[in-house]
A and B are shown apart, each in its own frame.
Chain A
Amino acid sequence: MKKILQTPIKDSDIIDLHIGDIIYLTGVLVTGRDDVHRRVVRENLTSPYDFNGGAIFHAGPIVKETEQENILISIGPTSSIRMEADEAEFIKKTGVKLIIGKGGMGERTAQACKEFKALHCLFVGGAAVTAASHVEKILACYWRELGMPECEWVLKVNEFGPLIVNIDAHGNNLFAQNKLKYAENKAICEEPIIESVKDYMNI
């Protein structure tokens, strides 16, 4: 059965989820990346959208803006690691429960997910038209002066996913675990190539 989270998200909705689980989101999803994090964490500004119990999407969409309406064209996740410097503080300050992005995040975010009960999930990178097909409409736009990719787009979504749980509310970190395995493999994989070029500077 599909596991579908609904906003507003309570601690009890996510406490039993684990890294590697696949889930979906229905409700409200709001974009926020480098500049939104900077404003909230470093400039101490209050986000126009109240993230308490909410979901943030590390994403900057392409939106066709007309006088009548804003039409979502493409939206996909951006590299979450860019937000690592500010994410823990962002979670603490806003009470956001679900973070959606691409790629890994670090130890500080994992600790904050554990302490304040939140998840970091992966959406397939680059799959921007597939993602847009799960967005019903754009409800609002805040901080537009930050530019189209950086502002807050408030989206109504239906079964948005698949989302792979990357950090769970217990602080387990899928990407960090995988990275250790890759690092172990690295020396073994490099070694024969290094051996094959060792005489290349002899003439």
Chain B
Amino acid sequence: MDKHEAKTKLANIMEKFIGLACKRLPDDVYAKLKELREREESEIQKVIYDTYFDNLDKALKLNRPACQDTGLLHFYINCGSEFKYIGIVEAALREAVANATVSAPLRQNAVNYFEERNTEDNTGERMPWIHWEIVPDNDELEICVYFAGAGCCLPGRAQVFKPSDGYAAIIKYVFDAVSDLGLNACPPFVVGVGLGHNVENAAVLSKMAYLRPLGTTHAHPKGAKLERDLLEGLNSLGIGAQGLPGKQVAMEVHVESSARHTATIAVGVSVSCYMHRRGFIKFNNDLEFDFSKSYKGVSI
């Protein structure tokens, strides 16, 4: 397969994968929402969850995007150092997004700064957004697709604190983000907390945190404990689905961290929405693919 053929093949597969991932929730998120529904007791919470599942069923049956805000397309990539087609990935993803805008169809959401006109195909300056990680001694390409809708982007924030503010600053910052604008972001959501040394790395880590598969934990025991404690604490606020009174505002809390500068503590918070359209797909060097990590028993 030459580079041109590889680009066409990858673009075609990713176009179809985008079409799938905007219509169906990944298995882990769907199972978690089912679990959460059982724990809510109020009448209004039951009406909301019933509407959630009615909508998800109808989206599959009618083959339509489950939420109208299909967002801007983000791709978080783990690329093996020995993956052959690294050079065509970005162009293929751009093509896939433009084509999926028509075939899925996706809502046209991209607007370039200073031009202020909708580009009408969801591509634009640095869009789709692509984040690369290189995996040494590996020949696979793993792409995590995420549909970044506006509602869940609005509560996102990052700030740098002084060491004297301590870990307490982290806790307060997360609670403020969730209990303020987070109410409007379609709870229950995955809360991503990034701990770093400046706004940029804390923000990126918070994003990587909420993209992590459900059921996974921070590598450090204290980090994993903080995830559990924050989840329990946030779910005691009395906030439920859609920000109305209920028992669960969060599906899970995920923390990702880097080393910090000895003189700073930086916190980033990103939340998803309940319609957490995040799916993993993996390619080998023949561009054979597998997305069973997110969607078992489904084909495109």
* Bound form: Cα–Cα A124–B65 in Å: 16
Q: Does B47 contact A (CB under 8 A)?
A: yes
Q: Is B47 touching A194 in the complex (CB atoms < 8 A)?
A: no
Q: Does A139 contact B (CB under 8 A)?
A: no
Q: Does B59 contact A (CB under 8 A)?
A: yes
Q: Is A201 touching B163 in the complex (CB atoms < 8 A)?
A: yes
Q: Does A64 contact B (CB under 8 A)?
A: yes
**Stretch touching chain A among B130-138, B199-207, B236-244, B291-299:** B236-244
Q: What 1/0 mask marks residues of chain A from 15 to 45 whose CB sits below 8 Å from any chain B CB? A: 0000010100000000000000000000000
Q: Does A140 contact B (CB under 8 A)?
A: no
Chain B residues positioned under 8 Å from A126 (CB to CB): 52, 55, 66-67, 186, 273-275
Q: What 1/0 mask marks residues of chain A from 147 to 184 whose CB sits below 8 Å from any chain B CB? A: 11110000000000010100000000011001101110
**Stretch touching chain A among B8-16, B83-91, B175-183:** B175-183
Q: Does A88 contact B (CB under 8 A)?
A: no
Q: Which of A22, A74, A147, A181 contacts B64, CB < 8 Å?
A: A74
Q: Is B151 touching A197 in the complex (CB atoms < 8 A)?
A: no
Q: Does B73 contact A (CB under 8 A)?
A: no
Q: What 1/0 mask marks residues of chain B from 112 to 124 whose CB sits below 8 Å from any chain A CB? A: 0000011010000
Q: Report the minimal beta-carbon distance from A190 to chain B, rounded to whole angstroms.
A: 5
Q: Is B166 touching A198 in the complex (CB atoms < 8 A)?
A: yes
Q: How many residues of A contact B (CB 8 A)?
A: 56
Q: Report the minimal beta-carbon distance from A119 to chain B, rounded to whole angstroms.
A: 17
Chain A residues positioned under 8 Å from B275 (CB to CB): 126
Residue from the set A82, A188, A190, A192 with the largest chain B CB neighbour count within 10 Å: A190
Q: Give the total number of A-B pairs whose CB atoms are below 8 A apart.
A: 184
Question: Contacts A126-B52, A127-B55; is A59 near B151 (CB within 8 Å)?
Answer: no
Question: Contacts A62-B65, A62-B70, A73-B65; is A129 near B59 (CB within 8 Å)?
Answer: yes
Q: Does A46 contact B (CB under 8 A)?
A: no
Q: Is B151 touching A102 in the complex (CB atoms < 8 A)?
A: yes
Q: Is A147 touching B108 in the complex (CB atoms < 8 A)?
A: yes
Q: How many residues of B contact A (CB 8 A)?
A: 61
Q: What 1/0 mask marks residues of chain A from 110 to 143 whose CB sits below 8 Å from any chain B CB? A: 0000000000001011111110110000000000
Q: Does A78 contact B (CB under 8 A)?
A: yes
Chain B residues positioned under 8 Å from A203 (CB to CB): none
Chain A residues positioned under 8 Å from B172 (CB to CB): 190, 194
* Bound form: Cα–Cα A148–B229 in Å: 42
Q: Does B3 contact A (CB under 8 A)?
A: no
Q: Does A68 contact B (CB under 8 A)?
A: no
Q: Does A185 contact B (CB under 8 A)?
A: yes
Give me 28 A-to-B residue pairs in the complex whose CB atoms sit less than 8 angstroms apart, sorted by A's number: A20-B44, A60-B68, A61-B68, A62-B68, A62-B106, A64-B105, A78-B151, A79-B151, A80-B184, A81-B154, A104-B183, A104-B184, A122-B242, A126-B55, A128-B55, A128-B69, A130-B51, A147-B108, A148-B118, A149-B69, A178-B183, A189-B233, A189-B236, A194-B167, A194-B168, A197-B171, A198-B167, A201-B166
